[in-house]
Amino acid sequence: MVLIISIIFFCIKGYDLVKKALASQEETIVRELTLREKQNIFLLENVGYERFKKFTKIFQCESGWEQTAVNLKSNDFGLGQVNEKTWDTTAKSMGLNYKDNWEDNIIMAKYILEVQGWKAWQWSKYCWDK
C-alpha cells in the first residue's frame, strides 16, 4: 500500500513539478522511475489491486524480484518462476518471452493464476501467505 501511494504521489508530484517548471520556465529535474517501480506499475495495471498485493509477495519470495532468477533444478524462470516444462509451449503460442522479458513473465504469471490459481506457487506459500 505504501509503495502504491509513493508511486501515485511521485506521479502527481512529478506532474506538478513539470507543470510549474513550464509555467515559470525554471529548470526542474524529475527522476526516471526505477525498474522495480516500473514492474510494480505494470503488475498493478495488469492484475488489479487484490492480486497485486499477493503477487508482490510471491515475486519477492520466488525470485527476489529478479527477472534473471533461474531455478536450475526445476527450470523455473523470472519474477514468477514460470516453469519451462509446464508452460513453455503455451507461452510461445501466446508470443511471450517469459524467460528474458519481465513484462512477459508477469503476463504469463497472470495466465497461470487464471488456469491453476495460487496453487502454482504452493511451495513458497509459507513465505508469501502471512
The predicted-structure confidence for 36-86, as pLDDT tens digits, reads as follows: 999 999 999 999 999 999 999 999 999 999 999 999 999 999 999 999 999
* Class of domain 47-128 as given by CATH: mainly alpha
* Greater pLDDT, 126 or 19: 126
In this prediction, residue 10 carries a pLDDT of 52
Q: How far apart are CA 116 and CA 27, in angstroms?
A: 51
The predicted-structure confidence for 18-40, as pLDDT tens digits, reads as follows: 566 556 666 677 899 999 999 99
In this prediction, residue 29 carries a pLDDT of 76
Domain boundaries, the chain: 47-128
Decide: 90 and 125 in contact? Cβ < 8 Å.
no
